[in-house]
Amino acid sequence: MKIFIDTANIDKIKEIHSWGILDGVTTNPSLIAKEGKDLKTVVAEIAEIVDGPISAEVISLDAEGMFNEGMELSEIHRNINIKLPMCIEGLKATKALYNEGIDVNMTLIFSAQQALLAAKAGARYISPFIGRLDDIGHVGMDVVAEIMDILDNYDFDTEVIAASIRHPLHVSQAATIGVHIATIPYDILKKMAAHPKTDEGIEAFLADWEKTKNL
């Protein structure tokens, strides 16, 4: 499974990239706003660090505006894909960008039906929001599993990005059902690398090593 980080913070991206496990980055307007920089500047900085897909989201809500923004953003770097919201205007813009050879990440997916339409329109990536589905009493991972089953039935050139990851268990569940990508917040990536038994073992090894110095 490919691992993306869901942030626009350059320091956090650099740190996770240094681990040797990072395949891409997803951003959104809220994440960009936290950094106090404009979208193009942040995306260009990310592209200098990560040689993989980078999602940059448009602001427009009409198909023409989405398309124009998407074309402009795609010129920043070859790895940029355009993040569009799941809606009728978004589907129209996805098809138009697809026809121009521009990859689209269709976001805010909450049902298998939405995912099917996004794939039909030519989305390169679709992002179902697991945590937000859990928040309203649905089992988000069940929706993702249904989406994976549908895509497996057909010859779509579309990858599923498990998004709205709330805890490490979401990641392992996504990997178990074969989700192509998980986009994971920085804090959860840190939790995935840690385990109290690992810390306990390292402490025991170091303590035993100290004992050998007196032999």
Report the alpha-carbon distance of residue 169 to residue 179 in Å, rounded: 14
List 40, 83, 120, 190, catalytic entry? 83
Cα–Cα dist 122/97, whole Å:
9
Please indicate whether residue 83 is annotated as part of the active site.
yes
The C-alpha angle 117, 166, 29, rounded to 5 degrees, equals: 60
Active site residue ranges: 83
